[in-house]
Amino acid sequence: MLGRRRFLAGLAVPAISSLSPASSFAAKVWQPPELPEGAIEEGGLERIAGKVPLIKRSFRPPNFETPLDYFRDPITRNDAFFVRYHLSGIPEVDAKTWRLKIGGDAARTPLEYDLPRLRKEFESVDLVAVCQCSGNRRGMFQPHVPGVEWGVGAMGNARWTGVRLRDVLQKAGVGDNAVEIAFNGADMPAIQGTPDFKKSLPVPRALDDTTLIAFEMNGKPLPHWNGFPARLIVGGWTGTYWMKHLTEIEIRSKPLSEFWMTPAYRIPAGLFPTVDHFPTQETAANQPITDIVVNSLVTSIHDGQRVTRGQMVDVAGVAWDGGRGIRDVEVSTDGGSSWVLAQLGKDLGRLSFRTFMHKFRVAAGDAPVVMVRAINQRGDVQSPKLILNPAGYHHNVIPRIRLEVA
């Protein structure tokens, strides 16, 4: 990658402040019962600057997930949006001195932009898209796997405003020998020897209309913890590619072989046959994680909730996938014996959350077991069982929500 020490010199690393009295929140926050006991105990609500209390998964690096209640709206609030970092050296970037460098051995004309020039020279576009950590729901794997023990909240949906990466790359000139576009950000390792966080995309994906350099989130400047002043948006692909605090773009004639491309963020070859391919990074044994698999989240009820006979129960939530778009959401209230279509909410775009809702009355007899499954426009359906993989990716199991009848 291009040198960046001059740009980073003198940037201060912000401290993380915890919310005191965290325990008053921790007792109330819902977490999936499948999580390891230690993750539930340590996952109380804590506050970091500019955010509402979020579920803490780690302080260093900062990893905080969004509580379930904030997913009742299709657009996730900026101050409730999850926080995910791999490195602990996170500078407070000054927008006035920020620069974006575009170069590489397959670039025809290396360029450098400041923020005003980048905004002025390229068309501004909006895109509503889900950003989801690759390891979302990892803590719900049985048996458990190593890594950040995320529950259901390592994701969010926002309206991103920025410029198309394609337009910027075309200005620099993508050589005929280019195979990947690589990215680096301002965050740094805190300990010498820790691999810097660098990622790449195949050229066609980098040139796609849904790959942006974004400056705004829901009509406001990006929050610090979500990539200020500019970040990459890769609509439909998991958050590992959504580089925060973007500072460098490299047009490459050879595949990127840094740690965070290989061996990290890989899935066994062929285990998820419908996901997008990344040909220059695939091997006979494994392939990079790419797009998000079809999934849903129930936000109105949770496992073990008490209801009464004759009560009307709302089964509501959000569904999403990697960009094919949600076609249907089906609900079962009898443990999967029968299914009915839920009512879908407003369509904000194929990369967005799609809300759904269904009502049923609790009848006499056995306690209801609610299940929900999303289906995308290609016909992909949520998985009836967990697809095990070493890194704990793509958890999209159809939930079984057992309600207790008073």
Percent of the chain topping pLDDT 70: 93
- Are 108 and 242 found together in one domain? yes
pLDDT band at 364 (very low <50, low <70, confident <90, very high): confident
Domain holding 333: CATH number?
Answer: 2.60.40.650
User: In sequence order, which ranges of 105-243 are alpha helices (DSSP H)?
Assistant: 115-121, 165-172, 203-206
Structure confidence by residue, pLDDT tens digits, 65-94: 999 999 999 999 999 999 999 999 999 999
> Cα–Cα distance between 66 and 54 in angstroms, integer?
6
| Percent of the chain at pLDDT exceeding 90 | 91
Last residue of a domain, one of 233, 267, 291: 291
- Together in a domain, 39 and 171: yes
Task: Specify the residue for token string 């620069």.
Answer: 99
> Is the separation of the CB atoms in 58 and 43 below 8 Å?
no
The pLDDT value given to residue 129: 98
326 in the same domain as 253: no
Same domain, 76 and 196: yes
Residue 342: C-alpha distances to residues 164, 230, 335, 349 (Å): 35, 38, 16, 18
CA dihedral of residues 381, 386, 391, 394 (deg, nearest 10) = 20
Average pLDDT over every residue of 146-174:
98
- Do 245 and 322 reside in the same domain of the chain? no
Is the CB of residue 68 less than 8 Å from the CB of residue 50? no
Residue 196: band (very low, low, confident or very high) from pLDDT cuts 50, 70, 90:
very high
Closest by CA to 189, choosing from 258, 117, 102, is 258
Reading the block at residue 188, the tokens are 């740094």
Same domain for 119 and 194, yes or no, is yes
Nearest to 350 by CA among 163, 150, 251, 209: 209
* Section 213-234 average pLDDT: 98
| Residue where a domain stops, chosen among 237, 269, 291 | 291
Name residues whose C-beta falls within 8 Å of residue 37's C-beta, 6 or more positions apart in sequence: none
Is residue 215 within 8 Å of residue 168, measured between CB atoms?
A: no
Residues 334, 392 within the same domain:
yes
pLDDT for res 231:
98
Q: What is the mean pLDDT of residues 169-194?
A: 96
Decide if pLDDT at 241 tops 50. Answer: yes
